[in-house]
A and B are shown apart, each in its own frame.
Chain A
């Protein structure tokens, strides 16, 4: 038995070393979210879904506000619509990642009607929500490197073979960079059509949620204690904006009102201008993201000085 235990232990140790090595060296390639749970607590954050996950580059914001008053660096703590929606659960996970010693943080909260919707599986009375067992909501330790809690709880998210095929990378600041996107117009059009179909599907199945809106309100109030809050609606394709505006009429007015009530600023980029390049109608690509970051920072800067 003793030899068996020693050998088994040695094997597990080797296995653990291999896993650790991959996580430390290639954490940003083998999983979309893993790296976000390895960085220290954040003084400033970008929150939202895949639009901000891919579309807002923290490094550009950090360099723009380098000599300004905000506590930086800013971390992109965005996920995707499959993991997050504004709500009590998401708020709790943000609190775990936030450095509560900060007093002058910059918080960019991106919003879409979908992030504030009730889904088929949600039961607001019984507090059953789709996002409960998804990262980041199922994570307790959010600053470990390597983070074995994430590995154990979210093993199915990993795609380890990406150590050989680095097509996308999540940077240490949390931004997802998609390299190697196809240039084939046919494929890009098909992706866009697929996004339109998906969003039409959302609009049929989901409903605007007062509960989620009130939780966003609570989050803004909470973050106000630690710095300045900016609520941002990201620029996307006009067809998708139209779907969203038809789904939730008066969405911008409601968010504006929420912002005003909380001394936050609402910056709406979804006005139908096709200024920033998206590759599928829904996500700004990394080149479009450079211009967007500049415009976003200009807006923040002007709103701060007003």
Chain B
């Protein structure tokens, strides 16, 4: 079930009324309803993996309790490792097994040795990365004594499979999410109405911007070998916008739905295209994931490498970003994608500019020329690097780059359907303009500060009409595959 479907709208309306009007008397019942709703939502997409999700939840629930109870450090460690092997091992098996086999075969083949290990037909459980990260951080935090395990299985199972976030995040840590499940939720009018606005804004990003971009980028990337460089540049630009609008649109909807249910979920995007350097960009992009990695991978690594000074820091970042790349998929394009982003940090580390550039044009309508230069520079770097994200192979990415930097860059792009391209570009302009004006707020449609009610309602109705008329046919979210 995807958020931008009629099935989900019906599901959520039913859920809302049961949640706030029937099951609101008892916290336990309300939590049971969330769990049931979560399993219906998850099982709707592919019921076969529901049992996997339940087994993973049960295993980690008991491991959490036993890790906390155990006084013997060795036994405690063993229990933690069982959890990590199950979590990370499952992730590696489902997502990367075939990639390793193929790479292994190819490596030997290049040495002239014919090894032919068989790949397996593996179907990846939806959202496996997202719920694995939740369970892994839960066990590590218990082991470190940061949190106490919950004794309520319904609470824990909900933490793993909370339906707005189970398929594509945001990835909340137990320390902030479990307490919300353990206390009675009270309906908050302002939070719920803003949740509705955020859903509307997320829908606009997804169906108007991302899905329309996808139609164009699919054509351009399929025919990149015969198109002009200017068309390829347009394709790369549109793909970066598509990726952002798709994933941040999904996150907006997930956060909005959670808010209507009385939950505060981690923000996942903070207007990343207004970043002035790559470090800032990654602080604003897929925040829940990068902060998870910062806590559980980057920080331990940088502590381990602290004796090597800046070199240690560079090494930690390169490993961290390569992992970010690999997480996105079992393909060398993603490995290179992550590694390249890691490399972009090197000049920042050397110049000590890692933490610079926090807020742009604060209190002003327009950025200064210096800020604009930095924003554009960062954006271009992102656009060029994201070609790797979209390309099916490294050779395709290099082919794309090669054609991109040719003289035809200074010609007009070939447009198969120029009207669609112009409409899409117009809505990208709307998206970026609104987000620029709203950059100090939570999301693009957070307009509760506008005093005039008719004006606010005109905005809602206009947004809805645009979604209806200009939305492309529903396509699955890009990040579902991860």
> Given the complex, which residues of A lie within 8 Å of B471, measured CB to CB?
160
> Given the complex, which residues of A lie within 8 Å of B20, measured CB to CB?
1
B16 nearest CB neighbor, chain A only: A8
- The segment out of B162-170, B188-196, B384-392 that lies at the interface is B188-196
- A18:B473 contact, CB within 8 angstroms: no
- A155:B474 contact, CB within 8 angstroms: yes
A18 contacts which of B6, B10, B464 (Cβ < 8 Å)? B464
- B192:A18 contact, CB within 8 angstroms: no
> Given the complex, which residues of B lie within 8 Å of A152, measured CB to CB?
6, 10
Expressed in whole angstroms, the minimum distance between the Cβ of B98 and any Cβ of chain A is 25
| CA–CA, A66 and B471, complex, Å | 43
| CA–CA, A230 and B378, complex, Å | 68
B4 nearest CB neighbor, chain A only: A155
Per-residue CB contact flags for chain A residues 138-165 toward chain B (1 = under 8 Å, else 0) read: 0000000000000011011001110101
- A4:B192 contact, CB within 8 angstroms: yes
B480 within 8 Å of A (CB atoms): no
Instruction: Determine chain A's interface SS by DSSP, over half rule.
Output: helix
Within 8 A of A (CB), among B185-207: 187, 189, 192-193, 196
- B469:A160 contact, CB within 8 angstroms: yes
Within 8 A of B (CB), among A158-186: 159-161, 163, 165
| CA–CA, A44 and B185, complex, Å | 59
> Given the complex, which residues of B lie within 8 Å of A4, measured CB to CB?
187, 189, 192-193
| CA–CA, A163 and B461, complex, Å | 18
Interface size on B (CB < 8 Å)? 21
- B189:A3 contact, CB within 8 angstroms: yes
B94 within 8 Å of A (CB atoms): no
Per-residue CB contact flags for chain A residues 9-29 toward chain B (1 = under 8 Å, else 0) read: 001001100110010000000
| CA–CA, A159 and B423, complex, Å | 14
Within 8 A of A (CB), among B442-473: 460-461, 464-465, 468-471, 473
Expressed in whole angstroms, the minimum distance between the Cβ of B461 and any Cβ of chain A is 6
A7 within 8 Å of B (CB atoms): yes
Known: A1-B189, A3-B189, A4-B192. A156 touches B465 (CB 8 A): no
- A161:B474 contact, CB within 8 angstroms: no
| CA–CA, A7 and B471, complex, Å | 24
A17 nearest CB neighbor, chain B only: B461
- A8:B196 contact, CB within 8 angstroms: yes
A151 nearest CB neighbor, chain B only: B6
B26 within 8 Å of A (CB atoms): no
| CA–CA, A14 and B462, complex, Å | 11
Per-residue CB contact flags for chain A residues 68-112 toward chain B (1 = under 8 Å, else 0) read: 000000000000000000000000000000000000000000000
A7 contacts which of B5, B193, B473 (Cβ < 8 Å)? B193
| CA–CA, A23 and B250, complex, Å | 28
- B461:A14 contact, CB within 8 angstroms: yes
- B468:A165 contact, CB within 8 angstroms: no
Per-residue CB contact flags for chain B residues 295-334 toward chain A (1 = under 8 Å, else 0) read: 0000000000000000000000000000000000000000
Known: A4-B189, A155-B6. A22 touches B468 (CB 8 A): yes
Q: Pick from A7, A19, A22, A159 the residue with the most CB of B within 10 Å.
A: A7
Known: A4-B189, A7-B193. A161 touches B470 (CB 8 A): yes
A11 contacts which of B189, B460, B469, B474 (Cβ < 8 Å)? B460
> Given the complex, which residues of B lie within 8 Å of A18, measured CB to CB?
461, 464-465, 468
B419 within 8 Å of A (CB atoms): yes
A157 nearest CB neighbor, chain B only: B473
Within 8 A of A (CB), among B1-55: 5-6, 10, 20
Within 8 A of A (CB), among B243-269: none
A154 nearest CB neighbor, chain B only: B6
Expressed in whole angstroms, the minimum distance between the Cβ of A133 and any Cβ of chain B is 13
- B460:A163 contact, CB within 8 angstroms: no
- A165:B419 contact, CB within 8 angstroms: yes
Expressed in whole angstroms, the minimum distance between the Cβ of B389 and any Cβ of chain A is 26
B187 nearest CB neighbor, chain A only: A1
| CA–CA, A67 and B127, complex, Å | 65
> Given the complex, which residues of B lie within 8 Å of A22, measured CB to CB?
468-469
Expressed in whole angstroms, the minimum distance between the Cβ of A162 and any Cβ of chain B is 9
B9 nearest CB neighbor, chain A only: A152
A19 nearest CB neighbor, chain B only: B468
| CA–CA, A15 and B473, complex, Å | 18
- B469:A163 contact, CB within 8 angstroms: yes
Expressed in whole angstroms, the minimum distance between the Cβ of A11 and any Cβ of chain B is 6
> Given the complex, which residues of A lie within 8 Å of B468, measured CB to CB?
15, 18-19, 22, 160
| CA–CA, A20 and B20, complex, Å | 30
> Given the complex, which residues of A lie within 8 Å of B465, measured CB to CB?
18
- B464:A15 contact, CB within 8 angstroms: yes
Expressed in whole angstroms, the minimum distance between the Cβ of B172 and any Cβ of chain A is 24
> Given the complex, which residues of B lie within 8 Å of A165, measured CB to CB?
419
A12 nearest CB neighbor, chain B only: B13
| CA–CA, A165 and B469, complex, Å | 12
A18 nearest CB neighbor, chain B only: B465
> Given the complex, which residues of A lie within 8 Å of B193, measured CB to CB?
4, 7
- A161:B461 contact, CB within 8 angstroms: no
| CA–CA, A11 and B200, complex, Å | 12
| CA–CA, A116 and B464, complex, Å | 43
| CA–CA, A22 and B473, complex, Å | 17
| CA–CA, A155 and B423, complex, Å | 21
B473 contacts which of A1, A156, A163 (Cβ < 8 Å)? A156
| CA–CA, A11 and B10, complex, Å | 16
| CA–CA, A162 and B382, complex, Å | 35
15 A-B pairs with C-beta separation under 8 A? A3-B189, A7-B193, A15-B468, A18-B464, A18-B468, A153-B6, A155-B5, A155-B474, A156-B473, A156-B474, A159-B473, A161-B423, A161-B469, A163-B469, A165-B419
**12 more A-B contacts (CB under 8 A) besides A1-B20, A4-B189, A19-B468?**
A1-B187, A1-B189, A4-B193, A11-B460, A18-B461, A18-B464, A22-B469, A152-B10, A156-B473, A159-B473, A160-B468, A160-B470
Task: Give the 10 A-B residue pairs with the shortest CB-CB distance, closest first.
Answer: A160-B469, A156-B473, A152-B6, A1-B187, A4-B189, A15-B464, A4-B192, A161-B469, A155-B6, A160-B468
**B interface residues, Cβ below 8 angstroms from A:** 5-6, 10, 20, 187, 189, 192-193, 196, 419, 423, 460-461, 464-465, 468-471, 473-474
**A interface residues, Cβ below 8 angstroms from B:** 1, 3-4, 7-8, 11, 14-15, 18-19, 22, 152-153, 155-156, 159-161, 163, 165
